[in-house]
Each structure stands twice: as C-alpha cells, then as structure tokens.
Amino acid sequence: MKITKVTPIFCDGGWRAFTFVKVETDEGLVGYGECTDNSAAFGVAGCVRDLEPRLIGKDPRAVERLYREMGHRFQHNPGGIAQKAIAGIEIALWDIKAKALNFPLYELFGGPVNDKIRVYWSHCGTYRVRNPELYPDKPALKTYDDIARLGEEVAASGYTALKTNILTPGEPPRMLWAMEQNIDTGILKTIDRLMSTFRKAVGDKVDLCLDLNFNFKTDGFIQIARVVEPYNLMWLEMDVYDPAALLQVKESTRVPICSGESVYNMKGYLPYLEKHAMDVCMIDLPWNGYIESRRVAALADTYEMVTAPHNYYTHLSTFANAHFCASIPNFKIMETDVDSVPWRDDITTEIPDIRDGYLHLPKKPGIGIELNEKEIARHPWPK
C-alpha cells in the first residue's frame, strides 16, 4: 500500500476554519485527521502541502517512521503550526492502518482501558455569546437568570460537568479577552457572580470548571483562584508558558489547576510535570498526534497525574480523542462542545454516542468516522 495524495481540507467553523487532512492510498483506503487551529489555518495547510512530497509513495502503515521523517523535515521549526500539520497527517495514518487491519483504532493501542468516556460540556455559553445569530432557538444570555437556566440545561442534558469562560450577561452579553493581562476588582466580581450562579443552578450534581486561557499574569491567576475557592471547582484552567509561575499559582490555592493545552511534545511537557506544576495535565490530540499524546500521558502517569484531552473541534476530533482516552490508564474526563455551527453534525458520517454524560466507544474500523466532503463543500472557508 502506498500514499498517493495528502490534502488539507477547510470547512467554515463559524469564527474559525475547521481544518482536516485527507490521506489517500493506491488501494482505495482513505484516512482522515483533524488539526483545526484558531487563527492559522492556511499556515497549517501550507505545512501539510510541504510534507506531501515526503509522503508520496510511502507505506502509510509505517506510522512511527513517517512521524519521525515529518519531524525531521521541520526540525528547525518545532511545535506550533508545523506540529499541528504533522499531527493531522499522523492521525490520518493511524486511521488507515486500523482500517487495513479491520480494527477500531484503540485495539492497536492495547485495547480499551475504559469502555465509556466521561465527557463535560465545554465552552458553556461561549458560543451563544460569541455568535448568537447561530442559536436563534436558544435564549440570549441577557441576565444571570439566563446563566442559571443554561446551567439547568446542562444538568437536564445528562452532563455531570461543565466548563465556561469569563462571560458577562447583558444586551449584548460579552466575553473577556484581556490582551493586556491585567486584573481588577470588576473582573473578580464578574467571575465570582458567574461561578456562584452556575453553582446555585446545578447544585452538587455537576462539576464546574473555569477556563482563563492566557488572559492574566501570575498575580491575576492567583487572585482569581482565591475568589473561586468557595465553589468547589473540578479545576481552574489557565495557559502559562513558565512552569515555575504555574507552580506558584498551584501552591497559592486549594483549587485544582489544569494546564497544558498549548504545550507540544513530551519534551515540552516535561518541565511542567517534573515540577508538579499542575494537578490535571491537558493534552491536545489534534495538535500533538497520537504518538506524542500517548507518551505525554504515560509521562504524566509517572508523575502521578491525571490527564484530560483538549477537544473543542468537530466530531472527527471527538472520535479520535475517544480512542486516545480509552487507551490510557490515567484518564480523567474529556472535553466536548455541545454548541457549535449548525452544520457540524452534517459534515461527518457519524455523531458521538453520548448518553448520561458518557461517550460510548465507536466500534467501526479505524477512527470510526468519515468526512462528508460534499457537505463540507457547501460551507467553504474563507466564507
């Protein structure tokens, strides 16, 4: 079996492009991967095209060797969009290999440790604030009573955990993106009321998480951690590129700290894990690929740390992550977005089987899902 073509595919994802990789073979088997990026879709696709000549004519089943060859091609540009391109291709190669063997992919990783995957409703409210025009059948988040009803919706849907961002209800509602990374009492009061509202709405039935992204420096993260301590969060999430600074935050609070979604490769994670700078290690599969993600998870296990995948993409990524989560012993919970663009369910051949807050494992060979390329063509990017 030989690779004949490697193609990046774009689809309108609302505020970003959904970015996929299609790998074709001379035996008719096709593999799909996802490497969606928030802001550099064309950069990722350019790297995919740069890698294609290195892959044409090669056996797609030699995944580890091809992964190393792709890494060698970009050895002067490690991480970032280059790693995302490698990851998207690598995921597609695993899809082909498992299809060729007629097994679900997790069987190639030793079989499932977990038969079903606990999931949480992520970016709860975020999409409805960011693109309210996409949700005409959902109530606008004008008041904190609307926030409470959103929490009740999560609980009624069977989810046992949710994650939100810093939202302020109003007309229009707003999200906080603090490029200057400064904290003030107004932000602290907003966070306090937001998390208090969610906690009162869901009681103890639903775990809460708050994602702060890169919005603050160390002092801001510490102040926020103190504010949310009364609400018994499952974790407070943040992105920090200095492991020592992240450890400073962790040691300042009783709230579990989650981080790592923007880190690449085992070597990138190592200083965070060595310092025990976080309680929950977040790993992005579409940005790292299976080989590195599984190695990072194993390394985290060595340091007695649980892992939780970063997954706010399409159903293809959710299926891919299900195989990852099923095959690691230190899995905690998996992210999934319930809200998305209305056509998300149409651009893949399957949708995740989520019941009572758990994703049930796919049974079909490979990743267990295909792209509907005809439907994707109806939602081009750029718009």
CATH code of 7's domain: 3.30.390.10
Spell 292-307 as b/e; 16+ CB within 10 A means b: bbbbbbebbbeeebbb
* Cα-to-chain-centroid distance, residue 381: 21
Q: What are phi and psi of 64, to 5 degrees?
A: -60, -45
Which of helix, strand or coil describes residue 116? strand
- Give the pLDDT score at 177: 83
- Between CA 129 and CA 332 the distance in angstroms is 28
- Between CA 169 and CA 163 the distance in angstroms is 16
Closest CA to 368 of 316, 327, 325: 316
User: Residue 110's CB: how many other CB atoms inside 10 A?
Assistant: 10
Task: Let me know whether 97 and 213 are in one domain.
Answer: no
Note whether residue 383 is domain-resident. no
Note whether residue 347 is domain-resident. yes
Decide which of 55, 72, 102 is a domain's last residue.
102
Task: Let me know whether 69 and 138 are in one domain.
Answer: no
Burial (0-12, 13-18, 19+ Cβ within 10 Å), 77 = exposed
Identify any residues that bridge with 258 across adjacent strands, giving them in sequence order.
237, 280
Note whether residue 131 is domain-resident. yes
The enclosing domain of 345 has a CATH number of 3.20.20.120
Domain that holds residue 81: 3-102
- Between CA 69 and CA 323 the distance in angstroms is 24
Task: Let me know whether 201 and 142 are in one domain.
Answer: yes
Q: Write the pLDDT tens digit of every residue in 301-355.
A: 999 999 999 999 999 999 999 999 999 999 999 999 999 999 999 999 999 999 9
Q: Which residues contact 242 (CB under 8 A, 6 or more apart)?
A: none
Task: Let me know whether 73 and 97 are in one domain.
Answer: yes
- Strands (E) in the chain, as ranges, are 3-12, 17-25, 30-34, 116-122, 161-164, 167-168, 174-175, 207-211, 235-237, 257-259, 280-283, 306-309, 334-337, 353-355, 358-360
Note whether residue 243 is domain-resident. yes
Cβ 261 vs Cβ 310: under 8 Å: yes
Which of helix, strand or coil describes residue 309? strand
Length of the chain: 383
- Between CA 44 and CA 64 the distance in angstroms is 21
8, two tokens: 């990046």
Q: Which residues contact 150 (CB under 8 A, 6 or more apart)?
A: 124, 125, 128, 141, 201
- Give the pLDDT score at 179: 84
Task: Let me know whether 186 and 82 are in one domain.
Answer: no
Sign of CA dihedral 124, 127, 129, 133: negative
User: Residue 46's CB: how many other CB atoms inside 10 A?
Assistant: 15
- Give the pLDDT score at 34: 98
Note whether residue 382 is domain-resident. no
Task: Let me know whether 287 and 314 are in one domain.
Answer: yes
- Give the pLDDT score at 383: 81
Q: Which residues contact 293 (CB under 8 A, 6 or more apart)?
A: 283, 284, 285, 309, 324
- Give the pLDDT score at 165: 98
Domain count within the chain: 2
Task: Let me know whether 127 and 222 are in one domain.
Answer: yes
Task: Let me know whether 98 and 240 are in one domain.
Answer: no
Specify the DSSP class assigned to residue 281: E
Decide which of 69, 102, 135 is a domain's last residue.
102
Q: Which amino acid is at 125?
A: G
Note whether residue 368 is domain-resident. yes
- Between CA 324 and CA 329 the distance in angstroms is 10
Task: Let me know whether 68 and 172 are in one domain.
Answer: no
Which of helix, strand or coil describes residue 126? helix
Q: Which residues contact 254 (CB under 8 A, 6 or more apart)?
A: 229
Q: Write the pLDDT tens digit of every residue in 305-317.
A: 999 999 999 999 9
Task: Let me know whether 206 and 297 are in one domain.
Answer: yes
Task: Let me know whether 289 and 194 are in one domain.
Answer: yes
Note whether residue 381 is domain-resident. no
Task: Let me know whether 214 and 65 are in one domain.
Answer: no
Note whether residue 292 is domain-resident. yes
Decide which of 64, 85, 102 is a domain's last residue.
102
pLDDT digits (tens), the chain, 383 positions? 999 999 999 999 998 999 999 999 999 999 999 999 988 999 999 999 999 999 999 999 999 999 999 999 999 989 999 999 999 999 999 999 999 999 999 999 999 998 899 999 999 999 999 888 888 888 889 999 999 999 999 999 999 999 999 999 999 999 988 788 999 999 999 999 999 999 999 999 999 999 999 999 999 999 999 999 999 999 999 999 999 999 999 999 999 999 999 999 999 999 999 999 999 999 999 999 999 999 999 999 999 999 999 999 999 999 999 999 999 999 999 999 999 999 999 999 999 999 999 999 999 999 999 999 999 999 999 98
Burial (0-12, 13-18, 19+ Cβ within 10 Å), 156 = exposed
